[in-house]
Amino acid sequence: MDITLPILILAIPIAMFLILGIGGVVMPRKVAGILGILGMGTCAVLAYTVAFTYFFSGAPEFISELGQRLQYQVFDVTWLAFTQSLVVKIGFLLDPISAMMLVVITTISFFVHLYSWGYMEHEPGFQRYYAFLNLFSFSMLGLVVATNIFQMYIFWELVGVSSYLLIGFFYKLPSAVSASKKAFIVTRFADLGFLIGILVLSYYTDTFNFQALTSNPELVMAECGGATFLGASVMTWAMVLIFMGGMGKSAMMPLHIWLPDAMEGPTPVSALIHAATMVVAGVYLVARMFPCYCQVPASMDFVGVVGAITAFYAAVVACCQVDIKRVLAFSTISQIAFMMVSLAVARDYVPVGEHWHAPGLGYMASMFHLFTHAMFKALLFLGAGCLIHAVHSNNYTAMGGLRKYMPITHWTFLIGCLAIAGIPPFSGFFSKDEMLAAMYQNSFFWGAWMSMVAGLTAFYMFRLYYLIFWWEENPHYEHHKPHDAPWQMSLPLIILALVSCVAGFIPFGEFVTYNGEPYHIHLEASVAITSVIIAVAAIALATWLYMKKNDRPAKMRAALPTLWEAAHRRFYWDEIYQFITHKIIFGIICQSIAWFDRHVIDATMDGFAKVTQKASFSIRGMQNGHIQAYVAWYFFGAIALAAFVWWCIL
Amino acid sequence: MDYSQFGTMLPELIVLGIFLVVFFMDTFGGEGVKKILTPCTAILFLLATVAIWLAPSASEGIFGGMYVNDTACKAMKCILNIGVFLVLLQSFKWADSEEMSVRKGEYYELLFATLFGMYLMISARHFLLFIIGLESASLPIAAMIAFDKYRYESHEAGIKYILTAVFSSAVLMMGLSFVYAFSMGSLYFSDLALAVAQGEMSGLLAIALAFVMAGIGFKLSLVPFHLWTADVYQGAPTPVTSYLSVISKGSAAFAFFIIFTQCFGQVYSDAWEWMLYALIILTITVGNLFALRQKNMKRFMAFSSVSQAGYIMLGVIAANALGLASLMFYIIVYVVSNLGAFAVIQTIEDNTGKLNMDDYNGLHKTNPWLSVAMTLAMFSLAGIPPFAGFFSKILIFTSVCSTNSMALYMLVLIALINTVISLYYYLCVVKAMWISNEEPIIGEFKSTCVAKIGLGLCIIGIVFFGLVSPIYEWLVNSVELSMWQPLALLGL
């Protein structure tokens, strides 16, 4: 394959970042906006071309004669060669998931660029905002096409930085600043584990390259040679630590605390970064390293358990939030955890049941859900952006009865809700059905647990929907009549809603499976029917509770005040962190370390500095300006050198 | 005699050609020709650099093996050329000034004569040719140093340089006479290598080694052969100082590596590894200790360059292909970083005549771009990532560590500790420019277009040389492609 297009896909966003970042100062808003949109549009077209070529051209480098899709490194150049083995390469890997991610990222990014033109119109720093968006797109694209884990790590950090910059975009708001710091610190802490994991893994396997790691995972295992650390094998440690990086980015418990706060950023940013692309990086990482994870069942169990707990926790918390973006944030956490569980249950290679079940059905389903979720969650966030734009508040208490005022937003938001709730024929139904099927195959427990989460999802999404669009009309509308957003904002909503209607019919298994062999998706009737019944029941409950203004929700809340308060406060995770960091770490541990630092380390350093200064002062006589002295030093220096060697030999 | 052999000497001939062109333009050209002499030289030299880069290299030696121009030598010459081109850009304003009007031709002639000598130093595989190169590289420099003939310090510096240079040449010659005796009457590197391999370590060889090391160490300003450095750097006109600090030093470092691995490779671990070991520790430490207390920017840069020479020598002590590649990379980075710093010093001196570090207080208020450039240069010299200096340091350290010797690990550790000390004084400059609250002493001024281009090229180098790997790979390839393999000779 020609390398022009892949290089351009990466080059356009970074070039745009530089142009808008440096030239933005002198650039009118309109020019910056149009440049950004056109740049990302071009990038999207190129990404589509590349993905299309990969999936449909049938070229021998992309697909084998037996119809198996292959991994293909378009290029892989050495960037830093420190030693023979420690070589950092930068490349472009095309395989089913990276091609799919190219499409997802550029699509959402393009719509967000377009949408932001309307949403951010009056904000100061408009040009800077577009520059950051491009930086993020570049980093995310670089992340998904990484040929080796080190490149992925570099872009992983770049993504973190651009997320930090965008969350803190309104840097005059203290809450935005602290949210951006929180996001950066928490994910950075997680990345520490990721880095250690990478180092451990590459130390034993002598390679960073994904193809080398995943094409023959048994060999990788063998190279670790059964080394153990604290009772677990080195490989387990490595995989769990690498997953820790994924937990940070994908907001898995207990590292989820940054994502709800990250909603302080501009809403389109939440749609792009904290719903569709960056937060699924953890899922993508596990999928990328899937064969390695399969080799270490313990690490896969870990992924599954973390995912299952997070999914349930986030779904419960989402039922009790007031801020509509936070509801969506917790919903995102829950859905991503869903994908994690789906990946975790896919490890069993043994076919179950009477049908031929592809091993790794969960893998395909997880990627499918990643795709559909990106579309409908971006739709929901952008819809939320329109609402916030209209009523100037994030809370549903300022909304209610908006369906008459904002019909486009209403209908598209409804489609998004139906998709995430898993109602056919919307896209979420198909992907969720495959995931649940994979879980039931693994064990009834997983299936039942995750069905419960799916039910909760339908409930809280429709609670949100009814509270925004039905319930009762907010009296404030008389002063300030809400209306639909301008076309730049409505158009992405409509297109994404259309995509959410039809995306479920994509024969996804033909394109993305764990080993590249096509898999024919067929609906598991029993699972499908059960999950639709659960979803409909949950929606019915939400309708009964929230469609018209009534006192039933208040009664429920009064009946279980502790539980409601706990869920509303997100089960006190922030307070726990606050206690651990401030009281225990800062208060007790750091105080003593600080004393040691001031009195021992600093004093030693001061001592060194003094000695250095003194030494510097004492040798000044050497440089006295007399050429005779210089020559003498020279000559005796040479003699001394000879004598030194002579003495050494003797 | 086969005159086609001269075809291999293309780089030298090209430099000689430029020398002649400048000479004729200067001597016989009218006023009009003299006016365009400065830009003409720069453009001609740029073309020459491209030509040298494109010219084929020959793996075989010519003139009976006295002269070799293989890929590694060619790469070294290209590195020097980059530096010389930047120096030419820097000297534009100075060379076009009133007092220089009648003498600027001479300046360029002297400069190209020394460059010619340095080329020979690199390509020589026979001590006679090497001495010719060395002398033609050092004598004209003395004239260049004393170029500001109405300024007292310039005189003094010239005298100091020539006297020390003569003395060091004498010591070197004496060392070579021992070498001559040792190799039974041959001055070919290859013969000497054979003799060293067969002979035994003796007092004669030890003295020969020490004297040769001192002779070349003089040009590199290794401690204790460095004492001329500060006075000369301070007294010389700034463009000459920058020339001296990078080009002269770079060529000497290359020659050092070639001679010691080619001729004395066999007694590496017996003798000169330890001599160099001691010299490196002394050089880095003493250079740093002196640099701490300097207030004059040119003296400061002098001691900084002394300590940098110690780091450069780390590539020699590694004594393998990786060492040579990282040495070359270190020098190319050192060229852009040091010349970046000197370009700022030069611009400020040209426009205001200020040379003290205290004069730089609050510079960012009046000249933000110059401050940024100086900061980048200081960061690069100190080795702060992600600038080129960091990568060159890490590569040279890895090359030393690749020898797997405990003693050399210790050396790297000492070098690292010294990096911390050097960080202090480099950051002093940065602090003066950015953090000092005093009112700026240096007023706002506009620098010339050429100075901006020169400085811009340095900044590009500082920012990108480390991040763009093909440069280092090119160096590794050119080392591996060259026929003389230090590894094979050393038997490592």
Chain A environment of B152 (Cβ under 8 Å): none
Residue A350 pLDDT grade (very low, low, confident, very high; cuts 50, 70, 90): very low
Chain B environment of A623 (Cβ under 8 Å): 227, 230, 290
State whether residue B303 sits within 8 Å of chain A by CB: no
**Under 8 Å between Cβ of A168 and A177:** yes
The first and second tokens of residue A31, run together, are 């020019």
3-state secondary structure at position A51: helix
* Burial class, B417, CB count within 10 angstroms (exposed 0-12 / middle 13-18 / buried 19+): middle
Contact flag B271-A649 (C-beta cutoff 8 Å): yes
**Under 8 Å between Cβ of A511 and A55:** yes
pLDDT at B121: 94
The first and second tokens of residue A193, run together, are 């584990």
Give the torsion through C-alpha atoms of A171, A173, A174, A179, to 10 deg: -70
Residue A33 pLDDT grade (very low, low, confident, very high; cuts 50, 70, 90): confident
CA distance A312 to A318: 10
Candidates B228, B270, B289; nearest CB to A630: B228
Cα torsion angle, A129, A133, A138, A140, sign? positive
Rg over alpha carbons for chain B, rounded to the nearest Å, is 22
Average pLDDT, stretch A132-137? 92
Contact flag B275-A645 (C-beta cutoff 8 Å): yes
CA distance A620 to A460: 77
Residue A353 pLDDT grade (very low, low, confident, very high; cuts 50, 70, 90): very low
State whether residue B214 sits within 8 Å of chain A by CB: yes
Count of CB pairs separated by less than 8 Å, A with B: 106
Q: What is the per-residue burial (b if ≥16 Cβ within 10 Å, else e) of A586-603?
A: eeeeeeeeeeeeeeeeee
Helix (H) or strand (E) holding B69: strand B67-69
Between residues B488 and A525, the one the model is more confident about: A525
pLDDT at B488: 44
State the complex-level ipTM: 0.87
Would strands A232-233 and A228-229 be described as parallel, antiparallel, or unpaired? antiparallel
**Under 8 Å between Cβ of B20 and B444:** no
Question: Which range has the worst mean pLDDT, A23-32, A87-96, B479-488?
Answer: B479-488
Average pLDDT, stretch A463-484? 80
pLDDT at B107: 92
CA distance B417 to chain A (A): 11
Whole-angstrom distance between the N-terminal and C-terminal Cα of chain B?
Answer: 38
Contact flag A642-B206 (C-beta cutoff 8 Å): yes
For A88, which residue in chain B has the nearest alpha carbon? B469
Residue identified by tokens 């939440």 is A270
Name the DSSP class of B223: T
Amino acid at A524: E
CA distance B266 to B437: 58
Strand partners, A209: A148
Chain B environment of A605 (Cβ under 8 Å): none
Residue A295 pLDDT grade (very low, low, confident, very high; cuts 50, 70, 90): confident
Give me the residues of B, 249-278, that contact A with CB < 8 A.
270-272, 274-275, 278
pLDDT at B440: 83
Residue identified by tokens 């054979």 is B194
Chain centroid offset of residue B14 CA: 21
CA distance B344 to B363: 11
For A616, which residue in chain B has the nearest alpha carbon? B289
pLDDT at B470: 82
Residue identified by tokens 């973390």 is A306
Say how many CA atoms lie within 13 Å of B195 toward its Cβ: 19
**Under 8 Å between Cβ of B338 and B242:** yes
Candidates B163, B209, B469; nearest CB to A79: B469
Chain B environment of A631 (Cβ under 8 Å): 163-164, 167
pLDDT at B146: 92
State whether residue A649 sits within 8 Å of chain B by CB: yes
Candidates A78, A625, A646; nearest CB to B473: A78
Chain B environment of A601 (Cβ under 8 Å): none
CA distance A51 to A191: 30
Q: Is the pLDDT of residue A165 over 50?
A: yes
Rg over alpha carbons for chain A, rounded to the nearest Å, is 28
Contact flag B160-A617 (C-beta cutoff 8 Å): no
Candidates A630, A639, A641; nearest CB to B164: A630
CA distance B295 to B291: 9
**Under 8 Å between Cβ of B422 and B288:** yes
CA distance A557 to A569: 14
State whether residue A635 sits within 8 Å of chain B by CB: yes
Separate counts of helices (H) and strands (E) for chain A: 28, 4
Residue A222 pLDDT grade (very low, low, confident, very high; cuts 50, 70, 90): confident
Which residue stretches of A120-148 are H helix? 126-144
Helix (H) or strand (E) holding A526: helix A525-546
From residue B326, give the alpha-carbon distance in Å to each of B316, B321, B400, B471, B478. Answer: 10, 9, 10, 11, 12
**Under 8 Å between Cβ of A321 and A568:** yes
Which residue stretches of A57-125 are H helix? 96-119
State whether residue A443 sits within 8 Å of chain B by CB: no
CA distance A157 to chain B (A): 15
Q: Give the count of beta carbons closer than 10 Å to the beta carbon of residue A305.
A: 13
pLDDT at B82: 94
Name the DSSP class of A478: G
For A631, which residue in chain B has the nearest alpha carbon? B164
Long-range contacts for B200-208 (Cβ within 8 Å, ≥24 apart)?
B201/A649, B201/B267, B201/B270, B201/B271, B203/A642, B203/A646, B204/B178, B205/B178, B205/B267, B205/B271, B206/A642, B206/A645, B206/A646, B206/A649, B206/B271, B207/A642, B207/B175, B207/B178, B208/B175, B208/B176, B208/B178, B208/B179, B208/B182
Contact flag B218-A645 (C-beta cutoff 8 Å): no
CA distance B207 to A557: 94
3-state secondary structure at position B188: strand
Chain B environment of A634 (Cβ under 8 Å): 164, 167-168, 171, 214, 218, 224-225, 227
pLDDT tens track for A589-618? 888 888 888 888 888 888 888 888 888 888
Give me the residues of B, 31-50, that contact A with CB < 8 A.
none
The first and second tokens of residue A606, run together, are 């001061």
CA distance B305 to chain A (A): 16
State whether residue A57 sits within 8 Å of chain B by CB: no
Give me the residues of B, 411-430, that contact A with CB < 8 A.
421
Contact flag B278-A644 (C-beta cutoff 8 Å): yes
Helix (H) or strand (E) holding B68: strand B67-69
For A614, which residue in chain B has the nearest alpha carbon? B289
Residue among A471, A322, A466 at smallest CA distance from A395:
A322
**Under 8 Å between Cβ of B267 and B209:** yes
Contact flag A80-B469 (C-beta cutoff 8 Å): yes
* Mean pLDDT taken over chain A: 85
Contact flag B211-A79 (C-beta cutoff 8 Å): no
Contact flag A615-B289 (C-beta cutoff 8 Å): yes
The first and second tokens of residue B240, run together, are 């000459």
State whether residue A650 sits within 8 Å of chain B by CB: no
Q: Which residues of chain B have pLDDT under 50?
A: 486-492
pLDDT tens track for B365-379? 888 889 999 999 999
pLDDT tens track for A194-204? 999 998 888 88
A92: phi then psi, degrees, rounded to nearest 5: -140, 110
Mutate to test the interface with A, among B403, B469, B479, B480 (most CBs of A within 10 A): B469
3-state secondary structure at position A162: helix
Contact flag B163-A634 (C-beta cutoff 8 Å): no
* Number of residues in chain A: 650
Long-range contacts for B20-24 (Cβ within 8 Å, ≥24 apart)?
B22/B105, B22/B108, B22/B109, B22/B112, B23/B105, B23/B109
Cα torsion angle, B269, B271, B275, B278, sign? positive
Q: What angle do CA A510, A514, A520 make, to 5 degrees?
A: 30
DSSP structure string for B356-410: BGGGGTTHHHH-HHHHHHHHHHHHHHHT-TTSHHHHHHHHHHHHHHTT--HHHHH
Residue identified by tokens 């060999």 is A219
State whether residue B283 sits within 8 Å of chain A by CB: no
Give the torsion through C-alpha atoms of A151, A157, A162, A164, to 10 deg: 170
Candidates A79, A616, A646; nearest CB to B289: A616
Residue A138 pLDDT grade (very low, low, confident, very high; cuts 50, 70, 90): very high
**Residue ranges covered by each domain of chain B:** 3-490
Contact flag B278-A648 (C-beta cutoff 8 Å): no
Mutate to test the interface with B, among A645, A647, A648, A650 (most CBs of B within 10 A): A645
For B232, which residue in chain A has the nearest alpha carbon? A625
From residue B113, give the alpha-carbon distance in Å to each of A27, B16, B116. Answer: 51, 8, 5
Name the DSSP class of B199: S
pLDDT tens track for A528-539? 888 889 889 988
Give me the residues of B, 140-199, that contact A with CB < 8 A.
159-160, 163-164, 167-168, 171
**Under 8 Å between Cβ of A627 and B160:** yes
CA distance A382 to A111: 9
The model scores a pTM over 0.90: no
**Under 8 Å between Cβ of B376 and B463:** yes
